[in-house]
Amino acid sequence: MRRPVATRRTQTAVAALAAGLVLLTGCSSSKPAAKTPGGATTPAGASSSSGAASSSGAPGSDALGAKANIQIPAGQPDGKLGVKVKIQGAGTKITDGSAVLLNYTAKLWRGGVDLGSSYDQGGSPTLQVEGQGKMLPGWEQGLKGQQAGSRVELTVPPSLAFGDKGTQAGDVTIKGDDTIVFDLDIVNVYPSATADIATGPSVLNDPNLPTVGTEVGPNDPKVTIPAGKNPPTVGTYKPVIVGKGPQIQKGQTLVLQYEGLLWRNGQIFDSSFSKSKSLFSTRIGVGSVVAGWDEGLVGQTVGSRVLLVVPPDKGYGPQGQPQAGIQGTDTMVFVVDILDAR
């Protein structure tokens, strides 16, 4: 699984489940989860910390915005996919191709074993795409047609989860005959994983900084590094297009597109635009990404395109990210389009 170079922690639902549960791995992350928010292409891209959420085991809630209260019924599961809408939302419906931002809580039917939640400490919502075979089959089937703002409980039999081989989730063995119960909170639904901000006039006018184009679409924004100029020695963060949405707050989850380049040679080391374009999500201001992202994106507005010039001490430090071609002395240049903040 690739993950975003700018990230400090693994961003997928799989790794976010307690004890490193690999729920959606192979299924859900050929996109920016394999990159860094902003950047590089690799598991090498982030720091060495796992970032897996720790399972609190705390009682759940019946309200959105908190770990769900899952009650395992008496008796044995019937081997079928169960879909129960516990809270009905009124937002956009999920269709094939929709990008879905969601929180989750999971338990084994067997013994009610807690498999963790994105609401646990260190967790965050996950961004998944419907109808592309990248989620557990039980998720894909159960989420289709549901609406943003809903909490949906899915009882997923082994045939629609990990099959007869099961999997290992930290200290918990999911057996080949285990049924898993998920409560999924649908935070928001986007029309496609290739969604863009609206274009607008550029407000960036600094001859000492890269120029950034305002075009939107399938291609990378055009970035030109100023010839003969040394990069700033401090983190420098400027809006290019100013969005009309709300201001981003520390701790929110951002949904975005991004491009990362090296000041040294203008080489793109990662991009959600041109590499199988797909939205990326990450929490901001809490150390999930490099410091330059946390510092530069908090306070910007939704709908903006932002230039982040990130020196080594705000990025990967003297060790760099060799697998992404980033040296310890490299200043990174990111262009980030902020589609949403939740």
Query: Can you tell me the distance from the alpha carbon of 198 to that of 5, in angstroms, rounded to the nearest whole number?
Result: 26
Whether residue 186 has pLDDT greater than 90 = yes
Task: Provide the b/e sequence for 23-50 (b: ≥16 CB within 10 Å).
Answer: bbbebbbbbbbbbbbbbbbbbbbbbeee
- What is the structure's pLDDT at 237? 98
Whether residue 81 has pLDDT greater than 70 = yes
Domain architecture of the chain: domains with CATH:
13-24+48-54+78-190 (3.10.50.40), 211-341 (3.10.50.40)
Percent of the chain at pLDDT > 70 equals 82
Q: How sure is the predictor about 6, in pLDDT bands with cuts at 50, 70 and 90?
A: low
Percent of the chain at pLDDT > 90 equals 74
- What is the structure's pLDDT at 276? 78
Section 136-143 average pLDDT: 96
- What is the structure's pLDDT at 18? 31
Section 311-325 average pLDDT: 95
- What is the structure's pLDDT at 7? 56
Whether residue 10 has pLDDT greater than 90 = no
Section 104-130 average pLDDT: 92
Section 142-154 average pLDDT: 98
Section 267-281 average pLDDT: 89
- Residues with Cβ < 8 Å from 55, sequence gap 6 or more? 17, 18, 19, 114, 115, 116, 117, 120
- What is the structure's pLDDT at 61? 75
Q: How sure is the predictor about 53, in pLDDT bands with cuts at 50, 70 and 90?
A: very low
Query: Can you tell me the distance from the alpha carbon of 104 to that of 55, in angstroms, rounded to the nearest whole number?
Result: 12
Condensed to tens digits (0 to 9), the pLDDT of residues 187-221 reads 999 999 999 999 999 999 999 999 999 999 989 99
Phi, psi torsion values for 282, nearest 5 degrees: -160, 150
User: Between 144 and 9, where is the model more confident?
Assistant: 144
* Least confident window among 10-14, 179-183, 202-206, 236-240: 10-14
Q: How sure is the predictor about 17, in pLDDT bands with cuts at 50, 70 and 90?
A: very low
Condensed to tens digits (0 to 9), the pLDDT of residues 235-264 reads 999 999 999 999 999 999 999 999 999 999
Condensed to tens digits (0 to 9), the pLDDT of residues 27-48 reads 333 332 233 333 333 222 332 2
* Least confident window among 29-38, 179-188, 277-286: 29-38
Three-state secondary-structure class, residue 294: helix
Whether residue 106 has pLDDT greater than 70 = yes
Phi, psi torsion values for 229, nearest 5 degrees: -100, 140
- What is the structure's pLDDT at 229? 95
- What is the structure's pLDDT at 134? 86
- What is the structure's pLDDT at 274? 80
Strands (E), the chain: 82-87, 99-108, 114-117, 126-129, 151-156, 167-169, 172-174, 180-190, 211-212, 223-224, 236-241, 253-262, 268-271, 280-283, 305-310, 332-341
